[in-house]
Amino acid sequence: MKRWVFFCLLLALPAWGAVGDPNERLPDPAKEALAREIGRELRCLVCQNQSIEDSDAQLARDLRRLVRERVAAGEDQTAVIRFVHERYGDFVLLRPPVTAATMLLWATPILALGGGIAVIMFRRRRALAEAAALSPDEAKRLAELDRGAA
């Protein structure tokens, strides 16, 4: 059991690494938590599939520092994200805003769900229709079976 726990902790090691340099952190844990939450919303533009909190790129480090400075100065999440958004555009937001260009992106889950429901309904209707229409042979055989069971 002990060994198992140790193994699990070992597996989690990379996650500890992602927390970042301890001397980057803000002394106030509430503000640090807010800064981290903001950082997770912002894309690192160098290694584009990571947030600035997860990335080790120089630019991500600079942006982390900038976010922390603004949080320490008392800005809220919207204000900090707006500041970065004004400079790097929609691309920096890991949660892109709904615009004409991102419509399809946002609508995909709904479209997929609607498509799935349509397929299910179509199949059920067909199954019902087929069940209703027995061929004369089938009807005869069914009648025979019924008689046999009785």
Partner 1 sequence: MSDSAPPKRSRRWMLYAPLGLAAAAGAGFYAMLQGLQDGSYNPRGVPSVLLGKPAPDFSLPALEGVGLPALASADLRGPLPGPALVNFWASWCAPCIIEHPQLMRLSREGVAVYGINYKDRIPEAGAFLQRHGNPYRRLGRDEPGRTAIDWGVYGVPETYLLDRQGMIRWRWAGPITADTLENELRPLLRRYA
Positions in the binding site for partner 1 (CB under 8 A): 45-46, 48, 58-59, 62-63, 66, 86-89, 91-92, 122, 130
Whichever of 34 and 92 has its CB closer to partner 1, that residue is 92
For 38, 58, 78, the CA distances from 34, given in Å and listed in that order, are 6, 21, 11
Whichever of 86 and 146 has its CB closer to partner 1, that residue is 86
Task: Work out how close the CB of 120 gets to partner 1 at its nearest, in angstroms, rounded to a whole number.
Answer: 14
Whichever of 15 and 135 has its CB closer to partner 1, that residue is 135
Fill in the amino acid letter for 73: A
Task: Work out how close the CB of 11 gets to partner 1 at its nearest, in angstroms, rounded to a whole number.
Answer: 31
> Helix H segments across 20-102?
29-41, 58-72, 77-88
Whichever of 25 and 85 has its CB closer to partner 1, that residue is 85
Contact 94, 43 (CB under 8 A): yes
Fill in the amino acid letter for 79: A
Whichever of 36 and 43 has its CB closer to partner 1, that residue is 43
Task: Work out how close the CB of 109 gets to partner 1 at its nearest, in angstroms, rounded to a whole number.
Answer: 17
Task: Work out how close the CB of 87 gets to partner 1 at its nearest, in angstroms, rounded to a whole number.
Answer: 5
**Residue 53 CB: number of other CB atoms within 10 A?**
21
- Cα gap 86→90, rounded to integer Å: 9
State the distance between the two ends of the chain, measured CA to CA, in whole angstroms. Answer: 62
Task: Work out how close the CB of 48 gets to partner 1 at its nearest, in angstroms, rounded to a whole number.
Answer: 6
